[in-house]
Amino acid sequence: MTDCIRIAMWSGPRNLSTAMMRSFGSRADTFVSDEPFYGAYLKETGDPQPMMDQVMASMDCDWHGVARSMSGANPERTPIWYQKHMAHHMVGPIAHHDLPGLRHAFLIRDPARVVASYAAKRVMVRPDHLGTGKQVEFFDREADRLGRAPPVVDSADILRDPPAMLQKLCAALGIAWDPAMLGWKSGIHETDGVWASHWYDAVVSSTGFGSPDKPQPELTAEGQAVADACRPGYDYLAQHKITAG
């Protein structure tokens, strides 16, 4: 399909991903989709996530149906379609090559900070919840397809210098920079998933990117083990990240 530029941003959870969706959604030329494979993931795994039944009732839970939609006609007919994807959701029969015509990019975050963010929500987390293994798999496949590394951005770098990092990311994606990406209206947005009321409290109250990350959090032994298990994948992707300099 060539009716628009489709951007698949592969992230882990608790990773600035919703703020990035807000940022792209602030562009007049962009439509955004929020975690379209979430329902299929829950149906496949039965992972006891908050609002599980409401999430599945609110969206298409068929892997192939969602993949067709993401590669199909843009619902809003905008020049750009930004798709916020959670890498750890991709446990079913759909993979990178089943989403033709998309420009794939990767949003990463230090795994210790991801685990700490989960802990603040009092949610149990396993290494597979962070999605770094699937990010690495999709990154390698896209790099092989392109013959070069696809765009990788680190949430910490974005928070340190949003204008510079977003300009670099837009250039890497082949789209024009739009300063409107630096701010958005507070509140729940029409394009948010039904789970926004549970997970998006910080973003809902925001009107732009927050301050840079604070010092590294201390984790429990169990949390540190999860972060340690995910660090090799994070470090591998971080070698390829875009920098502001």
pLDDT per residue as tens digits for the range 6-32: 999 999 988 999 999 999 999 999 999
pLDDT grade, residue 1 (50/70/90)?
very low
Angle at alpha carbon of residue 13, lines to 175 and 213, rounded to 5°: 80
The reported pLDDT for the residue numbered 120 is 67
Q: What is the pLDDT of residue 218?
A: 85
Integer Rg of the chain from CA: 17
The pLDDT score that the predictor gives to residue 122 is: 57
In the three-class reduction of DSSP (H, G, I as helix; E, B as strand; rest coil), residue 103 is classed as strand
CA angle 80, 146, 30 (to 5 degrees): 5
Hey, what CATH class is 5-238 in?
alpha beta
Quick check: helix, strand or coil at residue 106? strand
Closest CA to 25 of 87, 100, 76: 76
Give mean pLDDT, residues 51-71: 97
Q: Which residues pair with 7 in a beta bridge?
A: 82, 103
Q: What's the pLDDT tens digit per position in 199-218?
A: 898 899 999 999 887 887 78
CA gap 96, 90 in Å, rounded: 9
Q: How far apart are the C-alpha atoms of 150 and 146, rounded to whole Å?
A: 8
- 81 DSSP 8-state letter: E
Mean pLDDT, the chain, rounded, equals 93
Question: pLDDT digit string (tens) for 103-152?
Answer: 999 999 999 999 988 776 656 778 988 999 999 999 999 999 999 999 99
Distances (CA, A) of 120 to 114, 115, 125, 226: 10, 9, 11, 15
Check whether 59 has a pLDDT greater than 80.
yes
The identity of residue 69, as a single letter, is S
Provide the pLDDT for residue 199: 85
Tell me, what DSSP letter sits at residue 182? G
State which amino acid sits at residue 141.
R
Pick from 132, 148, 90: nearest CA to 227: 132
Residue 152 tokens, joined: 């990788």
In tens, the pLDDT along 143-196 reads: 999 999 999 999 999 999 999 999 999 999 999 999 999 999 999 999 999 999
